[in-house]
Homo-oligomer: A and B are copies of this chain.
Amino acid sequence: MPSTALLTDQYELTMVSAALRDGTADRPCVFEVFGRRLPNQRRYGVVAGTGRLVDAIRDFRFEPDDIAFLRDRGVVDDLTAEWLAAYRFTGDIEGYAEGELYFPGSPILTVVAPFAVGVVLETLALSVLNHDCAIATAAARMVTAARGRPIIEMGSRRTHERSAVAAARAAYLAGFASTSNVEAGRRYDIPTAGTAAHAFTLLHDSEAEAFASQIATSGKDTTLLVDTYDITQGIRTAIEVAGPELGAIRIDSGDLSVMAVQARDLLDSLGARDTRIVVSGDLDEHSIASLAAAPVDAYGAGTAVVTGAGAPTAQLVYKLVEVDGRAVVKRSENKRTVGGRKYAVRRHKPTGTATEEVVGSQCRPPEEPHDRPLQRPYLVGGEPAADLPDLPASRRHLAGCLVSIPWDGLKLSAGDPAIPVTMLSPTS
């Protein structure tokens, strides 16, 4: 993999330069990633991207070319160039599991390292987490809205070509069934899906020829896209060509709730009772919810999921909270940020329903029955921790978390966080 070390804001490197000169570079520090609020008054956020970040930190090396560029630009001096050349992340990172829920103030990621070692990860950590958490949160809301029906992620074309791969991963983590993105399928072992576009029908001299060709190659269990010309005729042609064993039809335009009912009736009347109906076309969590009563078997979601459905970034920040064991905090109006390293647990009723998140600053919350600690090691002395969960495990973890929050927390409407976050400090 190419180095990730230049995916960095210049000021991190100028700060390292100055800190190396003035002797503060080695001060023991704690940095934390958290969100001050949930975008669009959502009721929860989904942690995603930490697994990618661990890999990206492993690839965070300043190569000779990188350093030559920084020297040429005058960003760093000789002393700093030497330090960068030797750079390996040697600190500790702990944080919430992928698939965990988070709320305003949740300490999603904690980086414990000397100042210079930790500060250079700021941009990379935030880029990965702000993107992946935004997508996973939007995707989880769609999964809730789909009420068990599978959703195919097909938004690659509506986002940057590399974001698309990470977005497919985040959507799968959140419960999507599959992705259209082939690279995501390979890199993260996610099921892939996709059969044909309108272009394939237009290429052929008739819709029937296009359908026959697709079936000859992919078999009758394929999905035929029936809305290139007239949907009713398209469905008739599909069944004429494939027979009632046809796997599925896809409708990508029109009023999907109306079209789905008509398509189901028509398919049934043609004896194709097991042929599934897949709908796509600018679906978001709200339009998916509104299709709950329609005879739809699966959804294809694109633009909305890869752009975070109105919240394309999770707005997480990376803040220095402790220097030499001393809590530090920026003073500014309207930002009630608490300094100090945080320790977080989630409290639950005996039934398993979550009631609150308790976050202690420089102190561990007093233990109560049914508490669940929320932080786990990711890197220890720069080395990946043992037993990092894989993507399917994280996916199951999120499904369990969503069952545990109060019912109101699953509402799609704007509102308060599903559970409150209580901040404790040693003096409180």
Contact = CB atoms under 8 A, between A and B. Distances in A.
A251 to B, nearest CB: 10
B323 A202 contact: yes
Contacts of A232: none
Contacts of A204: 22, 24
Interface residues of A, number: 99
Contact of A182 (B13, B161, B213): B13
Interface string A85-106: 0000000000000000000000
The 4 A-B pairs at the shortest CB distance, nearest first, are namely: A10-B194, A11-B194, A126-B157, A162-B162
Contacts of A115: 199, 203
A413 interface: no
A245 interface: no
A14 interface: yes
A199 to B, nearest CB: 4
Interface string A56-84: 10000000001001100101010000000
Contact of A14 (B66, B160, B183, B217): B217
Number of identical protomers: 2
Nearest to A6: B183
Contact of A7 (B2, B19, B165, B328): B165
A352 to B, nearest CB: 35
B183 A213 contact: no
Contact of A307 (B157, B306, B312): B312
A315 interface: yes
Given A7-B165, A9-B157, A203-B320, 9 more contacts: A7-B182, A9-B182, A15-B199, A18-B200, A126-B158, A159-B312, A198-B319, A228-B330, A228-B331
